Amino acid sequence: REEIYVEDRSFADLGMQGVTVTDFGSKTIQIPFVIPPGKSIGSESYLDLVFNHSQMLDYLRSGIVVRLNQVPVGSARFSDTTAGLSTMRAMIPSTALRSGANMLEIQTDILPRDVCSDQRQGSLWITIFPNSLLHLPEVNQPSAASAATSLGDFSLPFTRTSTLANLAFVVQKDAPAAKHREGEWSSYLKE
């Protein structure tokens, strides 16, 4: 039985509840997800990352970086505006996605304004919320058999005005192109 593909998945759907990071330095949150074999994902894919953070952070050195399968796809620079509930949209290039297992990584960087800050006080934090959304729309790809090949799909010698008298085509007997074009090739090769 084929599983129904869902193009919008929240972090909660992917098994991640809200995460609050309080450790100084860099920490990476990993969220695995699967694209079923045979599914083609469109170019309108994106991640809406919902987060907030402490206003006690050093905004010039703290932030979020998002990677998909080790490809950087977005980042957020912190400010007083992003300290409230914020959403960062990261467009996902289709080249970063793969059929099967994928890994979304959210790197948080927490650095204090005061180097003497004590992380045990809990005044420095970044929260990633479970309603963050991964949008991966499926697109229908034309089948390989429906794509007709023409001489325009090839470069030289077809783009030159020279004669084609010494040209031969080798087409597999049961190939769709051989059945569809049967008898047509000879008319092009006669002089």
Give, as one character, the DSSP assignment of residue 184. Answer: H
Residues 157-174 have a mean pLDDT of 59
Higher-confidence position of 45 and 168:
45
In the predicted structure, residue 101 carries a pLDDT above the cut 90: yes
The closest of 178, 27, 33 to 97, measured between CA atoms, is 33
pLDDT in tens, 5-14: 789 999 999 9
Residues 87-112 have a mean pLDDT of 92
In the predicted structure, residue 88 carries a pLDDT above the cut 50: yes
Higher-confidence position of 120 and 124:
124
- Residue by residue, DSSP assigns 65-133 as EEEETTEEEEEEE--HHHHSSEEEEEE--GGG--SEEEEEEEEEEE-BSSTT--GGG--S-EEE-TT-E
pLDDT in tens, 45-71: 999 999 999 998 888 889 999 999 999
Higher-confidence position of 168 and 139:
139
- Report residue 120's pLDDT band, with 50, 70 and 90 as the boundaries: low
Output the pLDDT for position 189.
43
Residues 21-46 have a mean pLDDT of 89
